[in-house]
Amino acid sequence: MGGRLPRVARALSATHVRSARADPPRRIYEQVIEVRAGRVVAQSIRRQGPDDRVYLLRVIIDMWPEGPEVVTTYKTGRIAKYWKGVQ
């Protein structure tokens, strides 16, 4: 919860991480899944790079009374594994 935004070193921009702090995250992300009480995974399918590569941006967020706290953020190409509703 402080001023510093945590992120893993996987070529994510600070803008991606800042957007995860939106309250509620459902306004920005296509899917928000509650994984346990007080923790959600917000995720969105995005495109990046000159070849317009598709990836899934996943943001793990702890929901505190003081506001959301980003635990970690990462992107993955394994959309079928994580996207709810894809088998």
| pLDDT tens for each residue of 29-47 | 788 889 999 999 989 888 8
* Reported pTM: 0.68
In a domain, 37, yes or no: yes
Structural domain that includes position 68: 14-82
Q: What is the CATH number of the domain that holds 28?
A: 3.10.450
- What are 4-32's pLDDT values in tens digits? 444 444 455 666 556 555 555 556 778 88
Report residue 16: phi and psi, to 5°: -60, -45
Among the listed residues 62, 71, 73, the one whose alpha carbon sits nearest the alpha carbon of residue 36? 62
50-65 pLDDT tens trace? 888 899 989 898 989 9
Specify whether the CB–CB gap between 33 and 53 falls below 8 A: no
Helix, strand, coil content of the chain in percent (nearest 5): 15, 45, 40
CA distance 13 to 20: 12
